[in-house]
Amino acid sequence: DTAVSQTPKYLVTQMGNDKSIKCEQNLGHDTMYWYKQDSKKFLKIMFSYNNKELIINETVPNRFSPKSPDKAHLNLHINSLELGDSAVYFCASSPLLAGAYNEQFFGPGTRLTVL
């Protein structure tokens, strides 16, 4: 009965490869997010989707492409992986009430290592 789940938990790959991380939430929330936590543990928003529509797209290389097949899923596809992409990627979800972000619930994270 996990609220926000991500797969895989660990991902080790070579530079130049393409990989995807999947996220699912069973909380019935309208909004989902991807965050990146770098080696210094700093968390930064990457994308946010509301009801399958992109609402936040921070300054992220276009090698990163989020895909939301339905409002319970938000996947992250990364092309041509680079060493600097190594990080922990967190998915989160929240209800969107009165046009404002509300309490966010986070997944367990996916640790991506690019060799």
Partner 1 sequence: KQEVTQIPAALSVPEGENLVLNCSFTDSAIYNLQWFRQDPGKGLTSLLLIQSSQREQTSGRLNASLDKSSGRSTLYIAASQPGDSATYLCLTSGSRLTFGEGTQLTVNP
List interacting residues with partner 1 (CB under 8 A).
33, 35, 40-45, 48, 56, 90, 92, 100-109
Taking the least distance from each CB to partner 1, the nearer of 3 and 115 is: 3
For residues 25 and 72, the answer to whether their CB atoms sit within 8 Å is yes
Do the beta carbons of residue 31 and residue 92 sit within 8 Å? no
CB of 8 or CB of 16, closer to partner 1: 8
Q: Return the number of the residue (37 or 65) whose C-beta is nearest partner 1.
A: 37
- What's the closest the beta carbon of residue 84 comes to partner 1, in angstroms? 19
Question: Cβ of residue 77: shortest distance to partner 1, in angstroms?
Answer: 21
Nearest distance in Å: CB 7, partner 1: 14
Closer Cβ to partner 1, 20 or 102, answer by number: 102
**Least spacing, CB of residue 44 vs partner 1, in Å:** 7
Which H, E and C letters describe the chain, residue by residue? CCCEEEECCEEEECCCCCEEEEEEECCCCCEEEEEEECCCCCEEEEEEEECCEEEEECCCCCCEEEEEEECCEEEEEECCCCHHHCEEEEEEEECEECCEECCCEECCCEEEEEC
